[in-house]
Amino acid sequence: MGHWWYRNIVEPEKLPLLLALLSFVTSFLVTRVITRLIRAGRGPFKNITPGGMHVHHVVPGVILVIIGGFGAIGSGRHSFGGLASAVIFGLGAGLVLDEFALILHLDDVYWSEQGRKSVEIVVLTAALVALVLGGFLPFGVNDLTSAERQSRGLVAMNMATNFFLALIALWKGKARTAFFGTVIPFVALVGAVRLARPGSPYAKRFYSNRPRARAKAGLRAFHHDRRWAIPRRRFENFIGGTPDPAVALEKPPADKP
């Protein structure tokens, strides 16, 4: 363990990255716990509403990211200021990405279906940083053996290939497959080679004159959503909380006798 710690954390100077990742994950988890308590009306926590205006936690998150980012640039990598700036940056990034959906939609969709995008982007970000941090990429590591250079080079090539395949999957309308395919082997490959989802740019480009392919793509998307919707929702609800139910449509008034 000590050898791995020195080779992959200390020598390539990844300690600030480790602190940033830990504070990022902690910030996200603590924020989700607090928001769920506020939503349930439990505990001492309340929304910040000075003058009746709801201040979202993305605001202090942006401030912390700015402080931590500029602090890291102006500090030495091994100094206390550099390490403290990494922690501040991670805390701010957790607050910002927890409301990624709000930034994307420019609307308060935190507890809606659209708000699930925040959970997905946080999981993806943590996975990517952990992959770099774990030493699977040879950035900053000196005196690699031939076996280490080969294995890490293969992983780097695999990541580049996954990224390219993820772009194809995204073109085919499979955003979640593209996101997680950048870090999970073969996920992006499956998304890239299978039929595109109806309404995606790829389907509009190549299925417009192919009714059979269009129908097959729609049927496959229907079965896929029905198969994976419940497990995915349970996982996202466990991490981020259950979204508010859709507002029921108002029933038309009954005809008078």
| pLDDT, position 91 | 97
Percent of the chain, pLDDT > 90? 29
Q: For residues 131 and 185, give the distance between their C-alpha atoms in angstroms, rounded to a whole number.
A: 13
Q: For residues 47 and 54, give the distance between their C-alpha atoms in angstroms, rounded to a whole number.
A: 7
| pLDDT, position 131 | 75
Q: For residues 78 and 19, give the distance between their C-alpha atoms in angstroms, rounded to a whole number.
A: 12
Of 69-78, 105-114, 140-149, least confident by mean pLDDT is: 140-149
| pLDDT, position 6 | 65
Pick the more confident residue, 184 or 254: 184
pTM of the model: 0.70
pLDDT at residue 64 tops 90: yes
- Identify each DSSP E strand in 24-66 by its residue range: none
Q: For residues 221 and 204, give the distance between their C-alpha atoms in angstroms, rounded to a whole number.
A: 15
pLDDT tens for residues 224-247?
878 877 887 787 788 778 887 653
Mean pLDDT of 85-101: 96
Q: For residues 28 and 121, give the distance between their C-alpha atoms in angstroms, rounded to a whole number.
A: 11
End-to-end CA distance of the chain: 81
